[in-house]
Structure 1
Amino acid sequence: MQIRDLPYPDPGVPDVRSGPRFLYWLGRNQLGGQLKSLSWGLLHQCGVAGLPLGVGLAVQAVVDRSGSGLAFAGALIALLGVAVALGDTMLHRTAVTNWITAAARVQQLLARRTAELGSALTRRVAAGEVVAVSTGDVEKIGWFVEALSRFAAAALTLVIVCVGLLVYQPALGIVVAIGVPVLALAVLPLLPKATRRADAQREKAGKATELASDTVAGLRVLRGIGGEELFLGRYRSASQEVRRAAVRSARMWALISAIQVLLPGLLLIAVVLYGAKLTVDGRITVGELVTVYSAVTLLLYPLRHFEEIAMAYSFSRPSAKRAARVLSLERTAYATGEDDGATGEDGPTGEDGATASAAPAVPSGDLYDPASGLLAPAGRFTAVVCGDPDLAGRLAEHLGGHATSDAGPQADTDSGTGAGTAEAPPSALLGGVALDDLPLITAREAVLVQDKDPVLLSGTLAELLDVPASGMVAAADALDAAQCEDVLAALAQASADRTDDPMRTRITERGRSLSGGQRQRLALARSLVTDPPVLVLDEPTSAVDSHTEARVAAGVKRLRTGRTTVVFASSPLVLDQADRVVLVHEGEVAAVGTHRELLHTDPRYRAVVTRETDAEDAARSGVTRAMEKAVPVREEIEESA
């Protein structure tokens, strides 16, 4: 894989059983690139290691006054210089390619997992940890993959040089052959402690990143309550902990570096003293002494790669562990029972009698949740009322299929036992077809879920609305149904190119330049443009005023005529537009009817819709207030229509 060929058509299925296994999987998938880098590394380092031989031959030729010997030594040094230059250039090229392609593979895997998990990701992993994995951890993993081939080349070079010295000059070669392994292994006892300190530093850095991410995300709220200084103090304290951990880790690595400078120096002194004695005794020539001395001096270069690979592994191992943890998260495929939704008056019906074993085509029909008993008839506008907003969010996500468990089957690292998980609820059914049994992309084509906090990506309004769609709903119609006139006017006024075209105006990241209600309505317009067979909206008008809310509800109903729409809401203005209202109490359907019917007949419904905590108060005043609020606005809408 070359950089120009990125991204990968398929990044593969990673081994996420542990951090080291994930690193091994990455290296195995880059075997070709690693072998190329290893080959160029051997050429480069063997060229460097061969220079002492040329220098020794040149010195001996001068001593012997041999012109031909000097010419041969010069030619050999020139050839080795070309090998060093070529090997170093290509080694750098291939090693950096390995780094970038490994990092790109990890980023693609993370992006794919994030897309699959959706909003459930941040419920199972802190947002700061996800940010740390996708930025700093990816870089450290790439560093280890890049350093691996250079380390292998250095290790082979050491073996080749030691064997060569034993053949060239056995008396000094035996000293080098014994001393070099001692130098390479001398720092091993210090590595576990250095690794623990590096792990502690990475953990504290991850927590500080998480704290910073959460603080930035909630900065507007913090300013509203005057809590900036409190959280700045917390981040300042966390950053100081990171600094102290980094200093402790750096001290250990400095000690390792000092040892790798001291011990080779001692070996060099021993070689010089012993070689000088052998030269005086006439057992070796001056040229041989210069050759061995130069070889030992240049061995310090490949020995440095032992320190680098130790550092790279120590820093990448916790990074790979975090990446493997994120990549190991999976959506739970909920199998439905044989009788789920198959019987009962409120059971789901498919237009063509499709079942969960049907081909992966987009199904159609009634949307049914066997766990709660919620039924959304095909082509109808169904409103769902839940007293618990969190329950409403989970139910909305479950209706979209491929829902995730909040606590997946994670191992309990403290006790060494697997943590038990609750039995998964059965899959939602669309036309009798279990959504969890469909490929994820098919389930997403069938049911679109917009949560209560939708995200607007940066770009122009035209780019925001340029989403996969049926083509049956124009952007202008969707914007009109979502009551975005004031949003368009504001964007036109802020147009940078003075064309007054709101579709060409850029929207800042997450739509921060817009109000909460404007962001909510633009997100709704984007969902309406998509025009899915089933649209599930979770509190789509919670941030808009009552007058706009009523118009949005009417616009959505008008635009979605003949399409299945499910809206989770508790506003009478929205509920009054629904064809069918379902009350979900403690996770199960408690009542079904129209908004006005349920106001008169169900105290629990009145308590939720009218915000009354006492059912008797709701019976006395809730109906009157709800009707007074809903009827005039509805009459105005009908008159304008």
Structure 2
Amino acid sequence: MQIRDLPHADPGEPDARNGGTLLLWLYRTQLGGQVKALFWGLVHTGAQATFPVPVGLAVQAVVDRSGSRLALAGGLLAVLGVLVALGDTMLHRASVTNWITAVARMQQLLARKATDMGSALTRRVASGEITAVGTGDLEKIGWLVEGVSRFGAAAVTSVGVCVALMLYQPALGLVVAAGAPVLALAVLPLLPHATRRADAQREKAGRATELASDTVAGLRVLRGIGGEDLFLDRYRTASQEQRRAAIRSARMWSLISAVQVALPGLLLVAVVWYGVHLALQGRIAVGELVTVYSAVTFLLFPLRHFEETAMAYSFARPSADRAARVLALARPTGGRITPDGPLTGDLHDPVTGLTAATGRLTAVVCGDPDAAGRLADRLGGHAPDAEPPADGPDEPGAAPPDSPSVLLGGTPLDDVPRDTARAAVLVQDKDPTLLSGTLGELLDIPASGRVEAADALAAAQCGDVLTALAQASDDASGDPGTARITERGRSLSGGQRQRLALARSLVADPEVLVLDEPTSAVDAHTEARIADGLRALRTGRTTVVLTSSPLLLDRADQVVFLRDGVLVAAAPHRELLRTCPAYRSVVTRDTEPPALPGDDRPRPAGTAARTAPIEETA
């Protein structure tokens, strides 16, 4: 695999049972690259390990005044120098290639998982955690992948040097062979403590980053309520906690670095002292002592590789665990039924009893925004999470994981391929995301071709948005289509972002369009015109709007009222106002909704006196 071949045609199916199996799978997927890096690592370290031989030969040649042996030593040093340079260059090239290709593979896997899970991903894993996995954690995994082959080459060469020293000079070789494993394992007891402190620093940094992001996103609101100082104090506190955690982490890593320098130095001193003692006794020659000294000096180099690899693993394993938890998330893939053609017909939810007739505009009133969001996901074929929601499995309106699928034209959406279900039903949640780019790129999406972008923008009442974008356009023509939209549309107001997102959904023109509170951030006058435009543009298409806005409800062909996740009434808006007091309470924002017939749940004192006139009026 070469960098020019990226991205991977198929990143594969990872073994995401835990971080260890994920790292092992990642290694197997690039076995060829790892073998190549190991080969060049052996060339590099093997040549370095051989340097003591010509050095010792040269010193002894000077002592013996032998010019031929000195020339031979010089030639050997030149050859080894070339091999070291070649091996180091190719090792670096192969190792960095392994790093980049492994990180690219992981990025593709995470992007595929995000696409596959959709909005369910951020309900299962915090968005900040996903960002951390896709950036810092992948860097740590890449660090380990890059160092594996270096570690293998260093291990093989170190064993070879120790064996050669024991054969060449048994007395000194035994000291080196006994001391090298101790040096290699000396820092291992310290690594778990260092890892915990590094994880604590990461957590504090994530908290500070989250506060900063929230402050920037809500700066306009904070200024309106005078809350800048409060959030500044919170960020200052979080920043100081991060600083203290970083200092504690740095202290531990400083201790590890000190151990890495001190212990090999002690071994070198011991070998030199013992070697000089042997040389004075005449048991070894000066050249032999220089050779052993040079070999021990070389061993300090692979020992640093051992410690670096141990550090890389201590960081990469928790990062791989976090990545594995994200990659292990799954939802039903469908595919048991292959429709003969596009899915059409009535949209029916067996759990709530809701039925949205084909080709009509159906409004749904839930009263609970969270319940409305869960219903929107269900209508889009997004099955409930396998785990209960964080606020409890008995939450009102929450469908159990094994609940029956939503039906479109009698076909369960859970049983068809996901691409087919998503092509048939498009869900726009209450907080849609605008990607950075131009307006033209925003509206350049897979669509039926029946709705022009200009018509969708007009129906969504985006005239003022187009004017603002035209004024901000870098193009001298003032074309709003070339104007840049910043990340998440932060340069636009909430209402402008909401209307652009609605226009994008209208351009897609799916068979079924589900909108969750599409006009919550616009004024009443604009909302009324959006309701008219939506009804006109979606003629002949099934549209479901989850809202409690009277302006939208009045323009719907049918209004469905749900309470505690169960259908209570279904009729036009004005008829429900006359016949259903509970519905009227939700729509008119009454804080004490009247009891439904047969509802004997305890109510606060004074409720009956307040609701009695409403019941009589009804």
Q: Do they superpose with TM above 0.5?
A: yes
1:259-278 → structure 2 map (5 Å cutoff): 259-278=259-278
* Letter matched to residue 234 of structure 1: R
Query: What secondary structure sits across from 1:299 in the alignment?
Result: helix
* Cα 1:430–1:13 shift into 2, 3 Å: same
Does 1:609 find its partner at 2:587? yes
| 1:310-353 alpha-carbon deviations (Å, 9 max, x no partner) | 221222222222222222222256x9xxxxxxxxxxxxxxxxxx
Does 1:384 find its partner at 2:360? no
- Does structure 1 retain, via aligned residues, the 8 Å contact 2:338–2:417? no
- Does structure 1 retain, via aligned residues, the 8 Å contact 2:516–2:545? yes
Aligned length: 593
- Does structure 1 retain, via aligned residues, the 8 Å contact 2:337–2:417? no
Give, in whole Å, the separation in 1 of the partners of 2:243 and 2:402. Answer: 44
Unpaired runs of 5+ residues, structure 1, are: 336-354, 411-420, 625-641
- Does structure 2 retain, via aligned residues, the 8 Å contact 1:520–1:540? yes
- Does structure 1 retain, via aligned residues, the 8 Å contact 2:469–2:483? yes
1:19 matched to which residue of 2?
19
Query: What secondary structure sits across from 1:292 in the alignment?
Result: helix
* Cα 1:614–1:128 shift into 2, 3 Å: closer
Displacement, 1:620?
A: 8.5
Give, in whole Å, the separation in 1 of the partners of 2:38 and 2:149. Answer: 5
* Cα 1:214–1:29 shift into 2, 3 Å: farther
- Does structure 2 retain, via aligned residues, the 8 Å contact 1:368–1:376? yes
1:335-414 → structure 2 map (5 Å cutoff): 357-359=337-339, 362-405=342-385, 407=387
Give, in whole Å, the separation in 2 of the partners of 1:12 and 1:88. Answer: 31
| 1:594-626 alpha-carbon deviations (Å, 9 max, x no partner) | 11221222112211222234668899999x9xx
1:569-608 → structure 2 map (5 Å cutoff): 569-608=547-586
* Cα 1:19–1:299 shift into 2, 3 Å: same
- Does structure 1 retain, via aligned residues, the 8 Å contact 2:557–2:572? yes
Displacement, 1:103?
A: 1.6
For the aligned residues, what is the CA RMSD? 2.5
Query: What secondary structure sits across from 1:244 in the alignment?
Result: helix
Unpaired runs of 5+ residues, structure 2, are: 391-398, 595-609
Give, in whole Å, the separation in 2 of the partners of 1:158 and 1:362. Answer: 65
1:92-241 → structure 2 map (5 Å cutoff): 92-241=92-241
* Cα 1:215–1:331 shift into 2, 3 Å: farther
1:89 matched to which residue of 2?
89
Aligned with 1:444 (options 409, 415, 422): 422
Give, in whole Å, the separation in 2 of the partners of 1:89 and 1:3. Answer: 16
* Cα 1:486–1:207 shift into 2, 3 Å: closer
Give, in whole Å, the separation in 2 of the partners of 1:406 and 1:213. Answer: 30
1:486 matched to which residue of 2?
464
- Does structure 2 retain, via aligned residues, the 8 Å contact 1:329–1:408? no
| 1:121-167 alpha-carbon deviations (Å, 9 max, x no partner) | 22222222222212211111111111122112111111111112122
1:253 matched to which residue of 2?
253
1:528 matched to which residue of 2?
506
- Does structure 2 retain, via aligned residues, the 8 Å contact 1:132–1:209? no
Give, in whole Å, the separation in 2 of the partners of 1:512 and 1:491. Answer: 13
Give, in whole Å, the separation in 1 of the partners of 2:42 and 2:314. Answer: 25
Give, in whole Å, the separation in 2 of the partners of 1:230 and 1:70. Answer: 76
Aligned with 2:544 (options 536, 545, 566): 566
Give, in whole Å, the separation in 1 of the partners of 2:24 and 2:230. Answer: 43
Does 1:9 find its partner at 2:26? no
Displacement, 1:462?
A: 0.6
Displacement, 1:408?
A: 5.6
1:631 matched to which residue of 2?
none
Aligned with 1:540 (options 518, 521, 531): 518
- Does structure 1 retain, via aligned residues, the 8 Å contact 2:360–2:542? yes
Give, in whole Å, the separation in 1 of the partners of 2:341 and 2:16. Answer: 32
Give, in whole Å, the separation in 2 of the partners of 1:314 and 1:284. Answer: 43
Displacement, 1:362?
A: 3.7
Give, in whole Å, the separation in 1 of the partners of 2:349 and 2:167. Answer: 79
Displacement, 1:453?
A: 1.0
| 1:383-407 alpha-carbon deviations (Å, 9 max, x no partner) | 1111111111110111001234284
* Letter matched to residue 310 of structure 1: A
Displacement, 1:540?
A: 0.9
Displacement, 1:539?
A: 1.0
Identity rate of aligned residues, in percent? Answer: 71
1:417 matched to which residue of 2?
none
- Does structure 1 retain, via aligned residues, the 8 Å contact 2:383–2:401? no
Give, in whole Å, the separation in 1 of the partners of 2:147 and 2:342. Answer: 48
Give, in whole Å, the separation in 2 of the partners of 1:385 and 1:29. Answer: 51
- Does structure 2 retain, via aligned residues, the 8 Å contact 1:332–1:405? no
- Does structure 2 retain, via aligned residues, the 8 Å contact 1:128–1:207? no
Displacement, 1:300?
A: 0.9
* Letter matched to residue 561 of structure 1: T
* Cα 1:409–1:476 shift into 2, 3 Å: closer
* Letter matched to residue 380 of structure 2: G
Q: Which moved more, 1:379-388 or 1:392-401?
A: 379-388
* Cα 1:551–1:621 shift into 2, 3 Å: farther
- Does structure 2 retain, via aligned residues, the 8 Å contact 1:610–1:618? no
2:605 matched to which residue of 1?
none
- Does structure 2 retain, via aligned residues, the 8 Å contact 1:383–1:580? yes
* Cα 1:258–1:236 shift into 2, 3 Å: same
Does 1:62 find its partner at 2:62? yes
- Does structure 1 retain, via aligned residues, the 8 Å contact 2:384–2:401? no
Displacement, 1:79?
A: 0.9
Query: What secondary structure sits across from 2:237 in the alignment?
Result: helix
- Does structure 2 retain, via aligned residues, the 8 Å contact 1:128–1:210? yes
- Does structure 2 retain, via aligned residues, the 8 Å contact 1:401–1:435? yes
Give, in whole Å, the separation in 2 of the partners of 1:137 and 1:206. Answer: 13
